[in-house]
Structure 1
Amino acid sequence: MPTARYTVNDVMTKTVITVTPDTEFKEIADAMQRWEVIAVPVVADEGPVVGVVSEADLLPKEEFHEHPPGMIDQMRRLGDTAKAGSVRAEELMSSPAITIEPGASLPQAARLMADRRIKRLPVVDADGRLKGIVSRADLLKIFLRPDDDLAAEIGREVVDRLFPGSHRNVKVGVTWGMATLTGHVPDAALIPVAARLAQSVKGIVSVDCRLKDPESR
């Protein structure tokens, strides 16, 4: 069945802007603006990732710049008010960093981002060392695969394997990621399987399975 298994390593950005625990607020803000990123991993002495500083970690300083937090705000938003007075990455960062390994699947990364309500994940090896970063946008790259490539994979990995003697009777078309399977196959019981496997091909948006058995001609 479909053998292509795309992982975080396939879509992640491998050149990553990082800061150290001692990097000061203004340097962090400048790096984010210059490189157009919304978060930077914090790495100590080229070692493991110890945290992440995001735009959300920097905003309290602006929020409370002109109007220092009152007693109620200080009690209700201890984390934010503490960050408003912070000046270095080690004080601003969210720690421990929520990370993922390069070999993790794209659904795993998507679920982790959704569960933790974050927009990107540092990608680390078994020792916690930074290998890249993966964002929500990176996970969507898989849907940019050319339609011809998607059709070829469905033909090769689904049709040829399920219906080896009848593959010439099946046509696969893909338009804007939407696959259509038409034709006649010898085993009607395998038609739902074909539809399910075609849908599992990375980059496929939807499947319209119109396969029929010979008796329905």
Structure 2
Amino acid sequence: MVSVSAVMTPNPAVCDANTSVRDVARMMLDNDCGEIPVVDYKGKPIGVVTDRDICVRVVAIGGDGTTAASDAMSSPVRTVAVDSSLQDCVALMENARIRRVPVVDGEGKVTGIVALADIALAGKNKETAKVVKEVSAPAPN
């Protein structure tokens, strides 16, 4: 059984709730990613800011780069433990319709992130297609 630790991106960039979305966007650019976990003072995730969150929750309503991450983040955050199976991670992504999942250690601190691309690189074409289909499907009404 494959563990999420085998496919995750380790030590992802993180921010705190007061970080500006301009700085969050810069982190995304510098780290070639589309999600930055928002952590509390202990390093535990309290939300995530995605590139889409910045577009929809800030830019689309006339906000600017000084907006705090806490005003743009999606919360509550869904996570998986570092020792979780990739199968459990995929199930969470499918059920929650999310494209990225922060990975937490035994203390609940962010230690990695699993994205669809990580699953695509680790998986078989048929499995990858199924995950992409489930995550991308419109939410039922």
Contact 2:28 2:34 in 1 (8 A): yes
Pairing partner for 1:38 from 34, 43, 65:
34
Question: Deviation of residue 113 (structure 1)?
Answer: 0.7
Indicate yes or no: 2:10 matched with 1:14: yes
Number of residue equivalences: 123
Question: Deviation of residue 46 (structure 1)?
Answer: 4.0
Indicate yes or no: 2:55 matched with 1:59: yes
What is the CA–CA distance in structure 2 between the aligned matches of 1:96 and 1:26, rounded to whole Å?
A: 22
- Residue by residue over 1:168-191, the C-alpha shift from the partner in whole angstroms, topping out at 9 and shown as x without a partner, is xxxxxxxxx9xxxxxxxxxxxxxx
Question: Deviation of residue 52 (structure 1)?
Answer: 0.5
Of the two structures, which has the highest relative contact order with CA contacts closer than 8 Å and spacing of 6 or more?
A: 2
Contact 2:43 2:109 in 1 (8 A): yes
SS of 1:109's equivalent? helix
What is the CA–CA distance in structure 2 between the aligned matches of 1:64 and 1:48, rounded to whole Å?
A: 29
TM-score (norm 2): 0.77
What is the CA–CA distance in structure 2 between the aligned matches of 1:99 and 1:109, rounded to whole Å?
A: 9
Look at both structures and tell me which one has the larger radius of gyration over its CA atoms: 1
Indicate yes or no: 2:84 matched with 1:104: yes
SS of 1:16's equivalent? coil
Within 5 Å, which residues of 2 pair with 1:161-176? Answer: none
What is the CA–CA distance in structure 2 between the aligned matches of 1:142 and 1:27, rounded to whole Å?
A: 31
Aligned counterpart, 2:98? 118
Pairing partner for 2:22 from 13, 26, 29:
26
- Residue by residue over 1:150-183, the C-alpha shift from the partner in whole angstroms, topping out at 9 and shown as x without a partner, is xxxxxxxxxxxxxxxxxxxxxxxxxxx9xxxxxx
Indicate yes or no: 2:73 matched with 1:93: yes
What is the CA–CA distance in structure 1 between the aligned matches of 2:61 and 2:74, rounded to whole Å?
A: 19
Structure 1, unaligned runs of 5 or more:
66-83, 145-176, 178-217
TM-score (norm 1): 0.52
Question: Deviation of residue 45 (structure 1)?
Answer: 2.1
Question: Deviation of residue 44 (structure 1)?
Answer: 2.0
- C-alpha RMSD over aligned residues: 2.1
